[in-house]
Amino acid sequence: MRDTRTNRILFQIGAILFALIVTTLVLSLAGAQPFAAYKYIMLGAVGSWDVVSNVLVSWVPLLLATSGLLVTFTVGLWNIGIEGQITLGAIFTTWAMRLLQDSGWNPSLILVIAVLAGMLGGTLWALLAGALKTFGGVNEIFGGLGLNFVATALNIWLIFGPWKRPGVASMSGTLPFDRSLWMPIAAGSSRLTPATLVIAIVGIIAVYATIEGTYFGLKLKAVGRNPKSAYILGIPTWQHMMASFAICGVFAGLAGAVQVTAVYHRLIPSISSGYGYLGLMVAMLVGYKASLAAPVALFFAALNVGSIQLPIILKLDSSLAGVLQGTLVLFVILGQGVRTKLLKKTKVSS
């Protein structure tokens, strides 16, 4: 078998078909109508401008998280701690807005400072994960998971402690910010903010240009392929690893800032909304290629939003979207493994 573009596409199509077959079997075993479920997921994602705008609202933080993860994946690191980095970005954003909301400053200036603070928070938390890996010898997966728990605990403590609503601590989060401190919402939508769409699109373009078109990106790839060889060739490996964590932290913190300033307008317990973990699946599904990240992230966002219709109409659990997303990633990875094994056999036999 030859390693051609056609073969790669065929394996990816096969993986998608297998994922749909597995999901269909799960639905059938549960006594549901698979095609009706798929129909209502589609209608729930594109049935009206309002639901389309909700998909785009979900797409923005997911694409930002995926953009950051593509950088760490390029250097060969699994930044599982991105969930905590999103949370710290949201915390720093909330802190800045609480500090400045009564300052009398221009609301737009406050928003800019708050977003920058969120980026700083995500970066610091990512650098901590990087330091544990680089200087402490702690595997980035375990270090990241640990930091996720710490970030979640800190978030809940702030919501139920220092930042609780006057007279009551509520799971609904902190007191909402004044409407003047919300990012401007698009006409005809209740949630979509054009500014965040621009940020997400510019972000993924910047990541693509950096990885594919710069000397720095080439160095990241070299470190990711073989750190020892890269070091021998004069590439400072640990510095590039830390840089990749920092860049991912910037994007994660930005996602957290978007959640606070454009989606919830306050800090809530589940502020990350699982976008970090979902971003990991998107990055794996696209084979760590930035050129495919935006459409695949949009597809995942549409599944998330569309699946809300399942418990309403068909009395099914909305976790079906998670089943489909997980099986997609699983079969794509399996397909890549099978293709790699067949290529090796072909080379040996020739």
Question: Residue 169: what pLDDT?
Answer: 64
pLDDT of 304 above 70? yes
Residues with Cβ within 8 Å of 229's Cβ and at least 6 positions away in sequence, in order, are 222
Rounded-to-5 percentages of helix, strand, coil across the chain: 75, 0, 25
Q: What's the CA gap between 178 and 53, in Å, rounded? A: 22
Calculate the average pLDDT of the chain: 87
pLDDT tens digit sequence for 281-296: 899 888 888 988 999 8
Confirm if 70 and 293 have CB atoms less than 8 A apart.
yes
Confirm if 86 and 69 have CB atoms less than 8 A apart.
no
Question: Residue 19: what pLDDT?
Answer: 78
pLDDT of 182 above 60? yes
pLDDT of 200 above 90? yes
Confirm if 126 and 245 have CB atoms less than 8 A apart.
yes
Q: What's the CA gap between 31 and 317, in Å, rounded? A: 13
pLDDT of 171 above 70? yes
Percentage of residues of the chain with pLDDT beyond 70: 93
Q: Rounded to 10 degrees, what is the CA torsion of 207, 208, 214, 217?
A: 70
Provide the sign of the torsion angle of the four alpha carbons 97, 103, 104, 110, taken in this order.
negative
DSSP class of residue 174 equals S
Residues with Cβ within 8 Å of 240's Cβ and at least 6 positions away in sequence, in order, are 75, 219, 220, 223
pLDDT of 1 above 60? no
Residues with Cβ within 8 Å of 66's Cβ and at least 6 positions away in sequence, in order, are 204, 279, 282, 283, 293, 297
Structural domain boundaries in the chain: 54-305
Residues with Cβ within 8 Å of 113's Cβ and at least 6 positions away in sequence, in order, are 96, 100
Kindly tell me the burial class for residue 188, based on how many C-beta atoms sit within 10 Å of its own C-beta (0-12, 13-18, 19 or more).
Answer: exposed
Mean pLDDT score, 170-187: 88
DSSP element (H, E) containing 218? helix 215-225
Q: What's the CA gap between 60 and 58, in Å, rounded? A: 6
Question: Residue 306: what pLDDT?
Answer: 81
**pLDDT level of residue 314 (50, 70, 90 thresholds):** low
Query: Going by CATH, does the domain composed of 54-305 fall within 3.30.160?
Result: no
